[in-house]
């Protein structure tokens, strides 16, 4: 549905990470979880990655607090990580609009909008 391609994955970085975090790859069970981890994105984080500390949401919340100079607090339980802008836009569309709703999108627009708006049966104008 989006425009991400697996061919763009930096396999050298993934291999290095998975070698040092074998519990994330399920290699301890002699069953590789690589396909699950590379091809499926759960908005709450993959179960295998949740075992690795710290959770990415906690790291992101801490980072954002630093960026804001401590003037804002971020609850890691309310941080949602996506695999890019397309996934974030799609998620926001599904949250903000219901099937049958109409959204006005000015042109020119990002072509990804059309695919997930039609998928959700939201009128696209």
The SS3 of residue 8 is helix
Listed residue (91, 5, 6) closest to 42, CA to CA: 91
* Mean pLDDT over the full length of the chain: 71
15 assigned to some structural domain:
no
Residue 32: predicted pLDDT: 54
If one compares 28 and 110, the residue with the highest pLDDT of the two is 110
Kindly indicate the confidence band of residue 65, based on its pLDDT and cuts at 50, 70 and 90. Answer: very high
Q: Is 18 exposed, middle or buried (0-12, 13-18, 19+ CB in 10 A)?
A: buried
Highest mean pLDDT among 3-12, 39-48, 50-59: 50-59
Mean pLDDT over 85-105 rounds to 81
pTM recorded for the entire structure? 0.48
39 assigned to some structural domain:
no
41 assigned to some structural domain:
no
Note down the domain range covering 118.
85-125
């Amino acid at each position: 549905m989006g425009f991400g391609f697996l061919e763009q994955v930096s396999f050298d970085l993934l291999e290095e990470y998975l070698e040092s975090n074998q519990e994330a790859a399920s290699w301890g069970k002699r069953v590789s979880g690589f396909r699950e981890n590379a091809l499926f994105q759960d908005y709450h984080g993959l179960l295998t990655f949740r075992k690795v500390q710290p959770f990415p949401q906690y790291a992101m919340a801490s980072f954002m607090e630093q960026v804001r100079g401590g003037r804002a607090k971020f609850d890691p339980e309310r941080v949602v990580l996506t695999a890019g802008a397309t996934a974030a836009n799609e998620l926001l569309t599904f949250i903000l609009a219901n099937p049958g709703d109409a959204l006005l999108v000015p042109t020119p627009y990002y072509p990804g909008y059309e695919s997930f708006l039609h998928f959700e049966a939201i009128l696209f104008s």
